[in-house]
A and B are shown apart, each in its own frame.
Chain A
Amino acid sequence: MNNSFSEISFHEFNRKSILKIVIPIALFIALPVLVTNLFWLHVLILIFMYGVLGLSWNLIGGYTGQVSFMQAIFFGIGAYTSTVLSIKFGVNPWLGMFVGSCIAVIVSSIIGIFTFRLKGHYFAIATLGLGEIFGNIVRRWDFIGGARGLSIPMKEAGLINFQFDGKIGYYYIAFGLIVFAMLLTYMVQRSKLGYYFRAIKGNSIAAKSIGIDVLKFKLIAFALSAFIAALAGTFYAQYVLYIDPHSVLSNAISLQIVFIVILGGVGTIAGPVTGAFVLIVLQQFFSACFGGAKAIHLVIYGVSILLILLFEPDGLVAIYKNLYKKVMKI
């Protein structure tokens, strides 16, 4: 019994896998010492931020299979909550970050209760519509800046004020966020929660027949997803110090987040991170090369998504895994 039990190939912690985690973390902590170029730091920060957003969408879209196109709503809620609280009421952005995430959770639950009755494409369409509605509400809401947006006044640089001179402070916070999001995903993936999410994605009727309260677990996945996306929203606001509906609430952001995960690999931890890396690097490269023709990166997105869907629907991570297997055989 014991012998055959150990045959089950679940990834349990061992020394090798700890090294696999510790070494990259140490590398990324040391990286700003080597990379002093502000542009490259900026690219890394963007990769981390979009990685966090991708990981957040992955929970509801990748694991639970509910393809939602409104991740920008939660990103925007995070950005707006901390900013409005800080400008109008003098609340510390860190507290604002937490409040923003809580509001995102509440909003996700309200949206979820109504939209999770819809299946497949209909759910996706509803979320697209909701994304547009949220953007329009904020554009017309003067108290929170309307279409002009909000600027965050400069304060004394430091961790407490969530403002830094230069990029290194933001780099570490963004890195902390992505590590948190990956860790959370890892824990979810191994637990009852993660298996229930995947069962719902696999077949919701069968999931119900083995005792899974489908609506409840969809709502949990959505809430977790919204919580993480809102954290990234506050980070963005504090990093750029200016937000408007276009930059934090547009459907284009929602779409980009979905692209990132599909490109990298749906339902994996490495997928959203890989996707963010590739897409952000491509985007920055092309907007640097073609300056004026900024939309060129959108064409690249389209082509890359098409290629991925044609040749490796499981994403870049699957290509890497297959290569790894082949190399190990040799």
Chain B
Amino acid sequence: MNVVLKINKMTKRFGGLIAVNAVDIEIYKGEIVGLIGSNGAGKTTLFNCIAGYYHPEEGKIEFEGKNITKAPSNLICHLGIARTFQLERIFKELTGLENVLVGAFSKFNSRKEALKRAYEIMKLCDLTYLSNIYASSLNVCDRKRLEFARALATDPKILLIDEIVAGLNPSEVHDFVSLVKKIRKKLNITIIWVEHVMEAIMNISDRIIVLDHGEKIAEGTAKVIAINEKVVEAYLGVEYDA
């Protein structure tokens, strides 16, 4: 299998606090990797380092063989890594379609082509009903779906999803999981997904990585992770039954 993203002994500190400590991760092409861990385990920091929002103090991040450790986030997007945010950052003054259109402009200069692409993505995500609605009037679920579509419009090879189903109700979670499955199949992209909602993440991930206090404590399929002693102790709790 091809390694698309290789994180090598990456460390990120905030002053005296070590948020991510010498983490090694390899991501293979086309897989869905779940990233779990308790609050403050370093999941979002790891994401922010991959996406170029933070730059790690030590270690190296390689994407398709290119060193992207110090690259700014706009460049990383052009290389092919897109992301969504834990707290959605949608463009409120734009309509649904325009939000996705802005994403599509990263691949097309002409308005016509970008519009066509944006519409395709909206259709793929079943979001066409949001086309003419201003994002400021959308609910959380629709905003998150729209942000997801906007990230997809940049035509990524890897998509980083940060707690996208947090705060959604069970049927919305279910819809989202099937949407991600569909997208993966259609667009053939690799997905790294941070999530606390176990029903979602255990269900969809090919592989799960567990972080605790900035260190990687386990890695494997959902079944293996669910009975891993360290993970149960640090995060899942003894009650959880896969």
Contact = CB atoms under 8 A, between A and B. Distances in A.
A46 B51 CA distance: 50
6 contacts: A1-B123, A190-B111, A206-B85, A209-B74, A212-B74, A267-B93
Interface residues of A, number: 28
Contact of B97 (A1, A8, A198): A8
Given A195-B102, A208-B73, A209-B77, 10 more contacts: A8-B97, A196-B102, A198-B91, A208-B77, A209-B53, A209-B83, A209-B151, A210-B82, A210-B150, A211-B78
A191 B112 CA distance: 10
Contacts of B98: 195
B94 A198 contact: yes
A10 B119 CA distance: 13
Nearest to B119: A5
A70 interface: no
A4 B91 CA distance: 24
A202 interface: yes
Interface string B91-118: 1111001100111011001010011000
Nearest to A194: B111
A47 interface: no
Interface of A: 1, 4-5, 7-10, 190-192, 195-196, 198-199, 201-203, 205-214, 267
Contacts, number: 85
Please classify how large the interface on chain B is, using the bins under 10, 10 to 19, 20 to 34, 35 or more: 35 or more
Interface of B: 51, 53, 72-74, 77-78, 82-83, 85, 89-94, 97-98, 101-103, 105-106, 109, 111, 114-115, 119, 123, 128, 131-132, 147, 150-151, 153-154
Contacts of B97: 8
Most central of A4, A5, A212 by chain B CB within 10 Å = A212
B111 A192 contact: yes
Contact of B93 (A1, A190, A201, A214): A201
B131 A203 contact: no
A9 B95 CA distance: 11
A229 to B, nearest CB: 24
Nearest to B110: A192
Task: Enumerate the 10 nearest inter-chain pairs by beta-carbon distance, A residue then B residue, closest first.
Answer: A202-B91, A211-B106, A211-B77, A206-B89, A203-B89, A192-B105, A208-B73, A199-B102, A210-B103, A208-B74
Contact of B114 (A4, A192, A199): A192
A191 B150 CA distance: 18
Given A210-B106, A211-B78, A8 B115 contact: yes
A267 B92 CA distance: 14
A210 B154 contact: yes
B187 to A, nearest CB: 16
B192 to A, nearest CB: 15
Contacts of A192: 105, 109, 111, 114
Contacts of B93: 198, 201-202, 267
Contacts of B74: 208-209, 211-214
